[in-house]
């Protein structure tokens, strides 16, 4: 039993280090940063959209090579613990009878603090009131990508393309956003070549578009093409010089190659550029935990959660570190919050189940959680096998799943 637990801890920490890319998620998970359109983006001169072929999965809408896009306005860092509390209080007193603009802002606030189901309902209200609201379509598509609801995301992207095709007043900035979201949807569906082509095209239009470099590199990392991922990241850093997200992924590549000090150096560089960048703090904590430096790991993880309270990677890693330090109550709280924040997070659910089985002696609760791991689509085959191993130990012969 002990060897099985240790294997899971090592596997968990390895997977966290690989998935803590910009915004706290992998390319497959979609837009884990809050995408928003500010006044500057809306002020971009509108140009006629290219004629589109029906359906989001056909040749994508083109962005004019001469257009100026304000893509930075799309991306907001996750709210800090203080900002999250402020947003939560504001949502409690949100006016009931509001127009489309206020409803869209309400949905963005809900999404920012992790209330994804409420955000989905509010975005749908926006679209019922204004069926051609392109911003709401794209942001709801991004929400579905976070939840890995690919059919729903593509349905909205098809609707967005039809809206773009029938309008001659869509800004080039929104076209840029549409194509980026479509690229992530393709990657999420396993059509990487299509997604990679769109991301490469967007980089060609704006060589400073760091999210495309990060998403492209993350996608190559996911299929083991490490050298290509490193090439993409170095090209991005050549062009933008200092970017925490790209540096963080360089650290992940170094860690995969067991170049631990090089990896730590990259994570340190990322945090020098952006001290509150949670993914780099999580990855540096993983290195510390692997070196049995649990106090340093815990300090980094607590700081990461101050910067991004809903960072599930940080919550699960913190639970692992707390468990290794003998803080069982703290570990239970961390794993439970991870599961509440992201019900599809298989590692949080598995480790909570293992804690219930081994440390809290609650086999029935453990069994329920292990069975749920088996039903989680995001769980790896290795993790499911470990869950089955626990189930075999906990369930009497003849009543096994």
Each residue's pLDDT tens digit, 196-210: 999 999 999 999 999
Under the banding of pLDDT at 50, 70 and 90, the label for residue 32 is: very low
Contact 354, 374 (CB under 8 A): no
Q: Specify the pTM.
A: 0.82
Per-residue model confidence (pLDDT) at position 95: 87
- Tell which CATH architecture fits domain 31-204: Alpha Horseshoe (1.25)
DSSP-assigned beta bridge partners for residue 270: none
Beta-carbon contacts of 163 under 8 Å, excluding residues fewer than 6 positions away, are 132, 134, 137, 170
397: its two tokens: 């012969």
Each residue's pLDDT tens digit, 112-139: 998 999 999 999 999 999 999 999 999 9
Question: 206: closest CA among 183, 236, 162, 247?
Answer: 236
Per-residue model confidence (pLDDT) at position 4: 55
- Whether the per-residue pLDDT at 75 is higher than 80: the answer is no
Contact 221, 253 (CB under 8 A): yes
Contact 28, 187 (CB under 8 A): yes
For residues 48 and 141, which has the higher predicted lDDT (pLDDT)? Answer: 141
Contact 266, 250 (CB under 8 A): yes
Contact 361, 394 (CB under 8 A): no
Q: Which residues of 42-59 are buried (b: 16+ CB within 10 A; e: fewer)?
A: eebeebebeebeeebbee
Under the banding of pLDDT at 50, 70 and 90, the label for residue 352 is: very high
Contact 199, 212 (CB under 8 A): yes
Per-residue model confidence (pLDDT) at position 203: 94
Could you tell me the CA-to-CA distances from 95 to 86, 90, 99, 123, 139 in Å, in that order? 16, 10, 10, 16, 22
Count of C-beta atoms within a 10 Å radius of residue 260: 13
Contact 4, 389 (CB under 8 A): yes
Q: How far apart are CA 357 and CA 370, in angstroms?
A: 10
Contact 62, 181 (CB under 8 A): no
Count of C-beta atoms within a 10 Å radius of residue 381: 7
Could you tell me the CA-to-CA distances from 4 to 386, 388, 393 in Å, in that order? 8, 12, 12
Q: How many CA atoms lie within 13 A of 116 on its CB side?
A: 20
Domains of the chain, residue spans: 31-204
Per-residue model confidence (pLDDT) at position 53: 31
Contact 108, 91 (CB under 8 A): no
Q: Is 25 left (phi over 0), alpha (psi -120 to 50) or beta?
A: beta
Indicate the average pLDDT of the chain. 83
Q: How far apart are CA 24 and CA 341, in angstroms?
A: 13
Q: How far apart are CA 213 and CA 202, in angstroms?
A: 10
Per-residue model confidence (pLDDT) at position 398: 42
The enclosing H or E element of 370 equals helix 363-375
Least confident of 13-27, 36-50, 204-218, 247-261: 36-50
Q: How far apart are CA 338 and CA 43, in angstroms?
A: 39
70: its two tokens: 């304000």
Per-residue model confidence (pLDDT) at position 67: 57
DSSP-assigned beta bridge partners for residue 75: 35
Question: 206: closest CA among 161, 173, 160, 229?
Answer: 173
DSSP-assigned beta bridge partners for residue 171: 46
Cα of 277 vs its chain's centroid, Å: 14
- Whether the per-residue pLDDT at 80 is higher than 80: the answer is yes
What DSSP line would sit under 189-216, residue for residue? TT-HHHHHHHHHHHHHH-TT-HHHHHHH
Least confident of 118-127, 132-141, 351-360, 377-386: 377-386
């Amino acid at each position: 039993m002990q060897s099985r637990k240790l294997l899971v801890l090592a596997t968990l920490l390895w997977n966290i280090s690989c998935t803590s890319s910009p915004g706290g998620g992998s390319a497959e998970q979609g837009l884990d940063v809050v995408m928003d359109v500010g006044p500057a983006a809306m002020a971009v001169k509108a140009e006629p959209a290219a004629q589109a072929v029906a359906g989001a999965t056909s040749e994508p809408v083109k962005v004019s090579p001469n257009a100026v896009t304000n893509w930075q306005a799309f991306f907001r860092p996750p709210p800090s613990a203080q900002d999250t509390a402020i947003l939560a209080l504001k949502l409690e007193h949100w006016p009931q009878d509001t127009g489309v603009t206020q409803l869209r802002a309400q949905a963005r606030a809900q999404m920012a603090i992790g209330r994804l189901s409420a955000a989905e309902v509010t975005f749908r209200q926006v679209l019922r009131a204004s069926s051609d609201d392109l911003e709401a379509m794209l942001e709801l598509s991004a929400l579905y990508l976070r939840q890995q609801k690919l059919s729903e995301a593509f349905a909205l992207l098809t609707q967005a393309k039809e809206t773009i095709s029938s309008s001659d007043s869509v800004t080039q900035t929104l076209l840029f956003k549409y194509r980026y979201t479509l690229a992530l949807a393709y990657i999420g569906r396993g059509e990487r070549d299509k997604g990679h082509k769109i991301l490469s095209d967007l980089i060609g239009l704006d060589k400073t578009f760091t999210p495309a470099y990060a998403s492209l590199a993350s996608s190559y990392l996911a299929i083991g093409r490490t050298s290509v991922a490193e090439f993409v990241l170095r090209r991005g850093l050549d062009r933008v010089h200092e970017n925490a997200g790209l540096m963080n992924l360089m650290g992940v590549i170094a860690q995969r190659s067991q170049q631990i000090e090089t990896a730590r150096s990259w994570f340190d560089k990322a945090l020098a550029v952006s001290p509150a960048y949670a993914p780099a703090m999580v990855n540096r904590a993983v290195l510390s935990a692997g070196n049995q430096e649990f106090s340093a790991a815990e300090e980094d993880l607590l700081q990461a959660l101050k910067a991004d309270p809903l960072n599930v990677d940080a919550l699960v890693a913190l639970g692992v570190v707390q468990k290794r330090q003998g803080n069982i109550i703290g570990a239970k709280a961390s794993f439970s919050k991870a599961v509440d924040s992201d019900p599809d997070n298989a590692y949080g659910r598995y480790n909570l189940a293992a804690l219930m089985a081994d440390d809290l002696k609650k086999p029935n609760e453990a069994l329920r959680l292990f069975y749920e791991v088996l039903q989680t689509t995001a769980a790896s085959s290795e993790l499911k096998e470990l869950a089955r191993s626990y189930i075999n130990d906990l369930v009497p012969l003849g009543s096994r799943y």
